[in-house]
Amino acid sequence: MRFIRAVRFAKVQFAFIQSLASKSPINYQMATPKRILIAGGGIAGPSCALLLSRAGHQVTIVERAPQLRATGQQIDVAGNGVPVVKKMGIWEALKERTEIEILRGDMVDVIYQRTKDSTEYIFGDQISALADHGSHVTASFEHHPDRDFDIVIAADGLYSHTRSLVFGKDSAHIRSLNQCVALMSIPWQKSDTTWSRWCNAPGGRCACTRPRAKQGLTGAYLALMTEESGKIGRLPAEEQKQEFARRFADMGWETPRILEQMMKADDFYVTPVAQAKPESWVKDRVALLGDSGYAPSPVSGQGTTLALVGAYILAGCINTYDDVQEALKQYQQQVKPFVQEGQKLYPGVPGSANPQTAWGIRTFYSIMWIASLINSSGVLGILSVLFGPLSALFGSGLQLPEYKL
């Protein structure tokens, strides 16, 4: 038995944090300009680059993709992420591009446009080795000559290649939540309206559509609970498509349409639902940023916010403390409470929203229906609370430190 539940297309509500003052005073002695290498051209790395280059540091970003990847689905910017965006000076530019939700591609492009003239971008390459000499780090690249830097920042995602070079290839760095999600854009059709819809099926499967009618597109998602999520997430794109096509072939609802368009989608990607849990976020002159250091998982809704907060704190520490070791030590200490809050999830998430049996699906929908009658925020609002971070319900009370950037 399958049950389709339509939900109101939710507007992202950006919470404005009035006070940015830290309870602990910061020493505002400005650091001398540093040569900084950032691995990863997504949101975390370029956000940090924007703040650092504005403060006079020499920043280079290396991205293994041959060009800017300004694609992706809806992202959430909330809580302490909002004042960071405003400090970056991109708030108005983002509002001009969206009426309801921010798309990852829009945010990536906005940040790139603000950094391309002040930051060196190297596309189609990645770091192959790092040698720490005490006073500096020598970075070797796959396709470019070696270069020296004062600081290296790994912001190249959950399965960070740079992290593995410094911290080792340890699977303990990743805590799998046994789910992987395929995301893509498909052509919008009239029946999509402006409502988000989802459908569960036995076997821990879920399909969801989120329309973007004005763009003529609909965001489509296929979520699968499986202990092989990490393996599927590392397959080549064409093999991933075949895997999802096989596992969702008999689901019905809108799934046949999604699978058909999936084969043609140029923005298709798969993300394992997992958290990054390394023992430390710094080592010598290397720092982990964003998903490479503390991915909270897509189900938390905190990935972009944590990336922005981490970028702001790391840039602030580098620009405040002249000694690199002290700067990275302060970064570790100051970002820790934000990471701890952002990574908190309710027990059983995300499996509780993706039941394995028809009985479990009926029970899940019944609970959502009753909760939506009680709570005026509707089903999607209930889901965002139940399956997001605990801090979203109770409030973290954390305030960003103030830096001169």
List the domain boundaries for the chain: 35-173+277-343, 177-273, 360-392
pLDDT at 46 over 70: yes
CB 205 within 8 A of CB 149: no
Asked whether 371 and 365 are in contact (CB, 8 A), the reply is no
Domain 35-173+277-343 annotated CATH 3.50.50.60: yes
pTM summary value: 0.84
pLDDT digits (tens, 9 = 90+) for 133-190: 999 999 999 999 999 999 999 999 999 999 999 998 876 689 999 999 999 999 999 9
Q: What is the mean pLDDT of residues 246-274?
A: 94
Task: Give me the pLDDT at residue 19, please.
Answer: 34
> What is the helix, strand, coil percentage profile of the chain, to 5?
40, 25, 40
Specify the range with the lowest mean pLDDT, choosing from 182-186, 332-336, 370-374, 401-405.
Answer: 370-374
Q: Across residues 197-217, what is the average pLDDT?
A: 91
The larger pLDDT score, comparing residue 16 to residue 50, is at 50
pLDDT above 70 for 373: no
Strands (E) in 126-268, as ranges, are 127-132, 137-141, 147-149, 151-154, 174-187, 196-201, 205-212, 217-225
Q: Is 309 helix (H, G, I), strand (E, B) or coil?
A: helix
Is the CATH number of domain 177-273 3.30.9? yes
Structural contact between residues 15 and 86, judged by C-beta atoms closer than 8 angstroms: no
Residue 157 is which amino acid?
G
Q: Which two tokens stand for residue 172?
A: 């303990």
C-alpha 405 chain-centroid distance: 23
Mean pLDDT of 73-80: 84
Determine the Cα–Cα distance for residues 85 and 82; give it in Å rounded to an integer: 5
pLDDT at residue 374, rounded to an integer: 63
19 vs 162, residue with greater confidence: 162
The number of residues in the chain equals: 405
Burial of 131 (0-12, 13-18, 19+ CB in 10 A): exposed
